[in-house]
Amino acid sequence: MTNPTEPAGVFVEIPDGDVDWRFERTFLESNWTCIWGRGCLGILDRPAPELQQGCCSIGAELDGPEDAMTVSAYAATLDPALWQFHGAVDDHDVFADATRTSTKVVDGACIFLNRPGFTGGPGCALHLAALAADESPIDWKPSVCSQLPIRVDWAVQPDGRETATVRRWSRADWGKEGETMAWCCTDEPEPYVGDRAVIESLADELAVIAGDEVVVELRRRLDRAAPSSD
């Protein structure tokens, strides 16, 4: 697998309609995996693996009204047995305020985050409920949560075409909060312990972002570029 400490910047470029997709090859070929609850130090200003908050210490930023509507609709179906903070829903629903641009923070973390010791299980209540319904958590969760640690940077070119750069999140992407975070999982070696490359383990998430056809072509190009084992 690709060395996770290799500098980013090598991209696989795939045009599709009016969008030019650029994928960070180094990350897609790495064996990064989420280690929430298995050594993740969280994004607070101190290492706090015992809290099992991961990147949920702040409310999830929502990707527009449709994203907010989806989260609200699924939240309304949640069984309180799977959602520790269901009682924190108020006039703003599950959102921080009337703008519905982020989820509410309750007791230092996202309203959907069940804490260690909760009888319904720790972790995202939306994620747990989706699994219980035998559905994909990708469909239930805010888009930023289901895509992390993948980030997409959009830019409009002079000719009107859009460029979408698909890469790993970095500390700088968290803004001022990133300056004080104890760690950023994509910058550290601990999460690079998965048994598959990211192009395989996060294939469903990539397909939601770029579409099945683009991901098929991406996999073909990465396979073609892979060194021979002979």
pLDDT value at residue 225: 61
Q: Which residue has the higher pLDDT, 10 or 165?
A: 165
The three-state secondary structure class of 11 is: strand
Q: What is the DSSP string of 130-151?
A: HHHTTS-HHHHS-HHHHHTTEE
Confidence of residue 4 (pLDDT cuts 50, 70, 90): very low
pLDDT per position as a tens digit, 85-124: 999 999 999 999 999 999 999 999 999 999 999 999 999 9
pTM recorded for the entire structure: 0.88
Span 122-140, average pLDDT: 97
Q: Write out the two tokens for 198.
A: 């990211």
- 202 with 27: CB under 8 angstroms? no
What is the DSSP code (8-state) at residue 170? Answer: -
Q: Write out the two tokens for 159.
A: 């000719």
pLDDT per position as a tens digit, 150-173: 999 999 999 989 999 999 999 999
pLDDT value at residue 6: 44
Residue 7 has pLDDT above 50, yes or no: no
pLDDT value at residue 19: 96
Beta bridge partners of 164: 21, 154
CA nearest to 8, candidates 25, 33, 31: 25
Residue 230 one-letter amino acid: D
State the chain's mean pLDDT as an integer: 92
Confidence of residue 60 (pLDDT cuts 50, 70, 90): very high
Residue 9 has pLDDT above 90, yes or no: no
Residue 1 has pLDDT above 50, yes or no: no
pLDDT value at residue 91: 95
Convert 183-222 to b/e letters by CB count within 10 Å (16 or more is b). bbbbeeeebbebeebbbebbbebbbbbbeeebbebbbeeb
Span 203-221, average pLDDT: 96
